């Protein structure tokens, strides 16, 4: 189910701070109550391979997101205890020591299930045990959501597990959406801050294409 243009689900989830404090975070309320944009990114598992490269990449760009009035939140289905252990593991040992944004611990999978981002291929009925078995890892794909100050999603994407994200692309998308909010113009292909945008009419499109 596509969420773009819709309100992000108002579901409260366990989380942990950089200091190891247990939190309860509702991403929708974080956006609305703070009047900030939110970037929420999901990754499959702590203590894996691609995942720490992404968490460090978002940390390195954290100042740029803050300049854009944007809160960064990471998320997986690991527990707060596993998050805390990972936060206290050095970078050169595959850890995420130095990451300062909060991490959701969606152990119940309440939010990730509503979002439809869990790796579950199918449910199989086991006659021997009269039970339903899930096929798949039951952890999340690399899903990313950009949410505006009203709690509305303006971008969502899902990568397969082996594919790391390009953090700069999310900065570009936030810049483009902010330009639309402030200027009322639309942003053409490959638009970046400082480049020409367009009005949403045929003449403006024709003029833009003639110049470019």
Q: Taking each helix axis as running N to C, give the angle between helix 167-183 and helix 50-60, from 0 to 180 degrees, rounded to the nearest 10.
A: 40
Q: Which of 32, 39, 51, 105 is catalytic?
A: 51
Q: Which residues contact 105 (CB under 8 A, 6 or more apart)?
A: 13, 14, 15, 16, 76, 77, 78, 79, 80, 82, 83
Whether 187 sits among the annotated catalytic residues: the reply is no
Other Cβ atoms closer than 10 A to 78: 23
What is the Cα–Cα distance from 155 to 99, expressed in whole angstroms? 24
Catalytic residues: 51
């Amino acid at each position: 189910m596509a969420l773009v243009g819709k309100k992000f689900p108002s579901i409260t989830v366990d989380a942990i701070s950089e200091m190891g404090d247990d939190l309860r975070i509702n991403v929708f309320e974080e956006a609305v109550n703070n009047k900030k944009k939110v970037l929420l990114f999901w990754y499959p598992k702590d203590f894996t391979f691609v995942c720490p490269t992404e968490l460090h990449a978002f940390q390195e760009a954290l100042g740029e997101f803050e300049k854009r009035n944007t809160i960064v939140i990471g998320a997986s289905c690991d527990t707060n205890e596993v998050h805390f252990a990972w936060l206290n593991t050095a970078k050169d040992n595959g850890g995420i020591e130095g990451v300062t944004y909060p991490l959701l611990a969606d152990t119940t999978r309440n939010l990730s299930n509503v979002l439809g981002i869990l790796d579950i291929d199918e449910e199989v009925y086991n006659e021997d045990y009269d039970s339903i078995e899930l096929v798949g890892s039951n952890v999340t794909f690399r899903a990313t959501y950009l949410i505006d100050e009203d709690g509305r999603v303006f971008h969502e994407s899902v990568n397969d597990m082996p594919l790391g994200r390009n953090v700069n692309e999310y900065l570009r998308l936030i810049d483009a959406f902010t330009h639309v909010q402030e200027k009322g113009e639309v942003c053409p292909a490959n638009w970046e801050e400082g480049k020409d945008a367009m009005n949403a009419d045929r003449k403006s499109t024709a003029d833009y294409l003639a110049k470019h």
